[in-house]
């Protein structure tokens, strides 16, 4: 009778551990698993022959939390030990699916009536970014979303916003209004003087061409700041 090797025992333990994770996930949903266990199970599906528990824990430790793992860019992920193209693609797929689901009410309803859904979508996409990103939401006369575009990305604390390009793009798309959005990688959503002056410049330029600026939303880890609600524009 052949004796079981240590490798056989490890593989048996691994299969049992994965079965327990699967059972908890199916029985209790995401609440049944810790953050690192959710990531561990996802990675296991992408790279099944590897113990993904230490990889999952290392990723969360490196990026700070689970959300930051999913918003990390693919190149950064692949620089982490144990993460190749398949694992990075699995992580980015989950993020893409989450964003697609979160954007559905934003795309299907007037922005004004789906404002909280818009904020949730923006936070999901931008709150944990490590560089500043600017995006423009172009709306028609009924406040329906025409296009959601990234207008630029910059360094840790600055991304370029060019008034002329934003207004020209609005005209090209036939937009009646726009919403400006950018994030602060520092986590503080309070607008800077430059944010306020730049926004007012875009508003004045848009007025002359019949294009309204509904708001400028700044996203941070601490939440949001609406310049319109804050009385800054």
Per-residue model confidence as pLDDT tens digits over 118-153: 999 998 888 888 889 999 999 999 999 999 999 888
Strands 145-153 and 177-183: unpaired
Secondary structure (3-state) at 179: strand
Residues of the chain with CATH 3.40.140.10: 109-226
Predicted TM-score (pTM) of this structure = 0.74
Quote the CA–CA distance of 160 and 154 in Å, as a whole number. 7
* pLDDT of 1 strictly over 70: no
CATH number of 6-97: 1.10.150
CATH number of 109-226: 3.40.140.10
Which helix (H) or strand (E) segment is 223 a member of? strand 223-226
Residues of the chain with CATH 1.10.150: 6-97
Q: What is the mean pLDDT of the chain?
A: 88
Burial class (CB in 10 A: 0-12, 13-18, 19+), 209: exposed
Ramachandran class of 132: left when φ > 0, alpha when ψ lies in -120 to 50, beta otherwise? beta
**Nearest Cα residue to 107 out of 138, 144, 151:** 144
E strands in 108-189: 133-139, 145-153, 177-183
Q: What is the pLDDT of residues 153-199, one digit of tens each?
A: 876 556 667 888 999 999 999 999 999 999 998 888 999 999 999 99
* pLDDT of 62 strictly over 60: yes
Strands 133-139 and 145-153: antiparallel
């Amino acid at each position: 009778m052949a004796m079981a090797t240590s490798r056989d025992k490890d593989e048996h333990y691994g299969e049992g551990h994965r079965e327990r994770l699967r059972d908890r996930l199916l029985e209790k949903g995401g609440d049944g698993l810790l953050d690192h266990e959710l990531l561990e199970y996802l990675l296991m599906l992408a790279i099944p022959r590897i113990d993904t528990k230490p990889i999952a824990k290392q990723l969360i430790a490196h990026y700070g939390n689970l959300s930051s793992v999913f918003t990390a860019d693919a190149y950064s992920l692949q620089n982490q030990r144990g993460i190749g193209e398949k694992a990075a693609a699995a992580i980015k797929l989950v993020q893409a699916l989450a964003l697609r689901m979160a954007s559905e009410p934003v795309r299907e309803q007037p922005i004004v009536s789906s404002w909280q859904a818009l904020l949730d979508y923006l936070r999901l996409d931008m709150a944990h970014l490590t560089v500043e990103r600017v995006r423009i939401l172009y709306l028609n006369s009924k406040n329906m979303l025409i296009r959601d575009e990234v207008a630029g990305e910059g360094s840790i604390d600055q991304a370029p916003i060019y008034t002329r390009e934003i207004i020209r793009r609005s005209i090209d798309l036939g937009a009646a209004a726009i919403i400006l959005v950018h994030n602060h990688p520092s986590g503080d959503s309070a607008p800077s003087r430059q944010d306020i002056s730049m926004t007012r410049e875009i508003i004045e330029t848009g007025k002359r061409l019949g294009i309204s600026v509904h708001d400028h939303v700044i996203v941070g880890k601490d939440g949001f700041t609406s310049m319109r609600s804050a009385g800054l524009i």
